[in-house]
Amino acid sequence: MAVSLSSLAPRLTERLGDPLPGHEAHLRMAPRDSARQADLSVNARACREAGVLLLLHPDDAGPSVVLTVRRDHLSDHAGQISFPGGRRENGEPLSATALREAEEEVNLSPTSVDLLGALTPLFIPPSNFCAHPFVGYAPSTASLRPTDAEVGRILQVPLPRLLDPAPRTTETRLLNGRNVDVPYYDVAGHTVWGATAMMLAEFLAVVRDATASAD
């Protein structure tokens, strides 16, 4: 990616203010038995609300994205990859939820983050969460470290690597007693799938639009 993060950030803010790729982008990375866009909508859902942070920062290899790796010993979702985020508390703004959870999970100071905008909310049936993703920019991630018992590692993945088609592939998994084709991103040997991959797909579509407008 030739464009720097300092010049990309304002373009992302502008792009996030326009109509978003939405569930059409989500479906590109949805397991193949996840049928329709309506199934992904948070509208009229009696769900638990969560705020999620897609954090960008400058790195030697160009702009990078922060992901977390859950610890291997956990009973739920062991070893899975996610963005910092979690459940809304006490009616707080969902953007504040995303920042609070990032501070709790990876030691990211909320005051160090410039929020650029929001992506499309996504309903996650297995956990009954309505995830609300926000894109943020931090000039430095020098202080990042796992600060939550569930977080084993932090991945800082170069954005150009994610934009390359090569990391996206598909495998067959047994889900709910059926063999299902599951798209995923191969990120430094880690499998990024499910809701995280779906949110990432929309984010990358937005980045492509923003960088195309810079050409």
Tell me the domains of the chain and their CATH numbers. Answer: 5-160+169-212 (3.90.79.10)
Cα dihedral: 56, 57, 63, 67 (round 10): -50
CB 26 within 8 A of CB 199: yes
CB 47 within 8 A of CB 123: yes
The model's pTM:
0.92
Question: pLDDT 10s per residue in the chain (215 long)?
Answer: 556 888 899 999 999 999 999 999 999 998 876 556 678 999 989 999 999 999 999 887 789 999 999 876 554 555 689 999 999 999 899 999 999 999 999 999 999 999 999 999 999 988 899 999 999 999 888 889 999 888 889 999 999 999 987 778 888 887 777 788 889 999 888 899 999 999 999 999 999 999 986 55
Q: What is the DSSP string of 109-141?
A: -GGG-EEEEE---EEETTTTEEEEEEEEE-S--
